[in-house]
Amino acid sequence: MTSNESATTDTLFQKRLAHHHDELAWLFNELYDDPAALQDLEKTMAEAYTARPADLKDLDARREADPEWYKRGNMFGMTMYTDLFAGDLKKLAEKIPYLQEQKLTYLHLMPLLQMPHPNNDGGYAIEDFDNVDPSLGTNEDLAALTAKLRKAGISLCLDFVMNHTASTHRWAMAAKAGDPEYQDYYSCYDDRTIPDQYDAVVPQVFPNTAPGNFTWSEEMHKWVLTSFYPFQWDLNYRNPKVFIAMMRSVLHLANLGVEVLRIDAVPYIWKELGTNCRNLPQVHTIVRMLRMVLETVCPAVVLKGEVVMAPKELAAYFGTPDKPECHMLYNVSIMVNLWSALANGDTRLLKAQIDALNALPENCWFVNYLRCHDDIGWGLDEAEEERLGIDPLKHKEFLYHFYEGCVPGSWAMGELYNYDEASKDARSCGTTASLCGVERALITHDKPALDMAMNRDLLMHRAVSFLRGFPMLSCGDEIVQLNGWDYKEDPDRVEDSRNLHRSKFDWEKAKLRTKPGTLQYEMWEGLEQVREMRDDPCFAPEAHVDTLGVGNDSVLAVERQSEGRTLIGLFNFSAGTQSARVPLPGGGVQDVELTPYEPRIIEV
């Protein structure tokens, strides 16, 4: 780089920093009142910018010119574990042609940073935020992979676990060794006085498998805050050193070519005694600062929030058009309501939830999915259930037993996760295909049941792809992958029923995707039709999306309008033939008859 080019890029960084400086300084000092720490943050940002590779700076420029790139109709995602799909990062890079065959534009790899083994919560207990786990490769392998993915038109998403570190992280090890500086990176207490005050108000995340919010550290002789598991120590964001260190790691990942950061468990990151420690204002201050740091150093990078909260809590995590926070969120509530509608043949709760999300401001954008690495937590809108005459607890029990396969007439095969006898709460595990009935039909050699199960599977994929946002597959869904019951034979995996849907990718089944008459071919072709559907102008970022009433609670009707065109998606969630009276934009109605589990897209 010539001195003139260096001066130009330095000017660009200074221009971006100047744009955000006053707000960033105000928010930082509001939290920390520490001007020296603010200087450290700005120095960290400048160093990361200087180290940013030229090709990524070119990407920054293109994304600044096209800020809604992640809202295009051609966005189509997939999430996977590197080891289960390919073994390691180098081998995954060799599989990129398979991803291109599906026209993927977005790949979310489950946590791959250095972690303890075997207790790592699926990689969400991280002991080094700056290095790839040796079992999966090296930082050089990750940078090479992101470069190859970019060339293929695929943006890489990685998790950034903001709330906690592994108890084996170097900070935690220093804290255990008695270093007061690093004990202040966490929330540590000599006795139970403050922990008891905390526990009196703050709900437990895993009351059955990891009760309480604190863990005794024998090495420190202190209680340490652990909201999730005892081996995951919550970070203390009251300490500016924690925030700056985490920003340094974020920028390091960005400079390795990561384009999307899924910030994990973000509602929990700020703790305030006397509150439930969820969704506090300081959380939004931190996320807003993170957004400004990225826009200054690496504006190609976008934030995806994991916010498992009610719709009324979601808008705040997007910020405002003038002061944005997350670019997009996981659409957890729609996922749950889709499965509820499928079990009940009743779309009323689903429609109400879609309406609530569509009522959010235009800057709110979602990643829509059916299954992911996690369980299905039955967090339905209880007030809406009661309004509809549905008993929330009985409905939840019905759903998790239905998808366990224990309700008469159930087609599903799955398992419970985190069943709590006291509260009768439980979550559900299983692959999309198995929960839709494919596995049971294959076991019983019931061809009509198998056809119906595939209809359900395709219905769910078509419906989730028609909603506001873009769809993300769980790897294996595209080849109708079934539950991996062999996890029960692995002593390191048997205790976590989520491993039921975390099994090795079946490459032999994948070969059948080109063979007519196979389930894999049927699903592959069905997903290709989904992508063709999303090529329509009605899937542009500015498209208007709304639900319609069609006089039948078994049918979900969603309308999309853009550039003078109107598409209506009709989705029959029942096992019977259903009729729908579709209101037309110019007046009048169109009567449509739908076969069991039929999705139909009509242009009006």
Q: What is the pLDDT of residues 345-376, one digit of tens each?
A: 999 999 999 999 998 888 889 999 999 999 99
Can you give the three-state secondary structure of 334-390, one letter per residue?
HHHHHHHHHHHCCCHHHHHHHHHHHCCCCCCCEEEECCCCCCEECCCCHHHHHHCCC
Q: Give me the residue label for tokens 């740091």.
A: 293
Q: What is the pLDDT of residue 3?
A: 47
Percent with pLDDT over 90 in the chain: 89
The whole-chain average pLDDT of the chain stands at 95
Beta carbons of 279 and 316 less than 8 angstroms apart:
yes
- At 502, the pLDDT band (50, 70, 90 cuts) reads very high
**Residue 4 confidence (pLDDT) above 60:** no
Q: What is the pLDDT of residue 494?
A: 94
Which option is the CATH number for 170-234: 3.30.365.10, 3.90.400.10, 3.40.50.300, 1.10.8.60?
3.90.400.10
Q: DSSP character for 206?
A: B
Distance, first Cα to last Cα, the chain? 56
Q: Following CA atoms 235, 240, 243, 245 in sequence, which dihedral angle do they give, to the nearest 10 degrees?
A: -100
Beta carbons of 175 and 220 less than 8 angstroms apart:
yes
- At 206, the pLDDT band (50, 70, 90 cuts) reads confident
Residue 392: half-sphere exposure toward Cβ, Cα within 13 Å: 12
Token pair in block for residue 164: 């906690």
Q: Average pLDDT of 53-67? A: 97
Can you give the three-state secondary structure of 200-264, one letter per residue?
CCCCCCECCCECCCEEEECCCCEEEECCCCCCEEEECCCCHHHHHHHHHHHHHHHHCCCCEEEEE
Q: Average pLDDT of 564-583? A: 96
Token pair in block for residue 339: 């499965």
**Residue 479 confidence (pLDDT) above 80:** yes
Q: Tell me the sheet residues that pair with 223.
A: 189, 216
Q: In a 3-state reduction of DSSP, which class is residue 2?
A: coil
Q: What is the pLDDT of residue 9?
A: 53
Q: What is the pLDDT of residue 585?
A: 82
Q: Tell me the sheet residues that pair with 303.
A: 261
The verdict on whether 535 is a catalytic residue reads no
CA distance 362 to 293: 23
| CA 588, chain centre distance (Å) | 40
Type of residue at 469: G
Q: Are strands 106-109 and 77-80 parallel, antiparallel or unpaired?
A: parallel
Beta carbons of 306 and 330 less than 8 angstroms apart:
yes
Q: Following CA atoms 573, 575, 579, 585 in sequence, which dihedral angle do they give, to the nearest 10 degrees?
A: 20
Token pair in block for residue 531: 């992508």
CA distance 264 to 259: 16
pLDDT tens per residue across span 109-156: 999 999 999 889 889 999 999 999 999 999 999 999 999 999 999 999
pLDDT tens per residue across span 290-335: 999 999 999 999 999 988 777 777 889 999 999 999 999 999 999 9
Tell the CATH superfamily of the 544-603 domain.
Golgi alpha-mannosidase II (2.60.40.1180)
Total count of residues recorded for the chain: 604
Positive or negative: CA dihedral 178, 183, 184, 188: negative
Beta strands in 278-409 (DSSP E): 302-305, 328-330, 366-369, 376-377
Q: Which residues contact 539 (CB under 8 A, 6 or more apart)?
A: 73, 533, 560, 562
pLDDT tens per residue across span 16-37: 999 999 999 999 999 999 999 9
Instruction: Give me the residue spans of the domains in the chain.
Output: 170-234, 544-603
Q: Which residues contact 438 (CB under 8 A, 6 or more apart)?
A: 450, 453, 454, 457, 480, 482, 519
Nearest to 242 by CA among 169, 185, 161: 185
Lowest model confidence (mean pLDDT) among 34-43, 53-62, 361-370? 361-370
Token pair in block for residue 445: 């050699």
Query: Which residue is catalytic, options 141, 234, 306, 325?
Result: 306
Q: Give me the residue label for tokens 């890489």.
A: 156
Query: Which residue is catalytic, options 42, 88, 259, 264?
Result: 264
CA distance 477 to 78: 9
CA distance 265 to 560: 32
Beta carbons of 357 and 366 less than 8 angstroms apart:
yes
CA distance 106 to 562: 24
Token pair in block for residue 382: 């209880």
CA distance 573 to 344: 8
pLDDT tens per residue across span 423-451: 899 999 999 999 999 999 999 999 999 99
Token pair in block for residue 305: 């929030």
The verdict on whether 306 is a catalytic residue reads yes
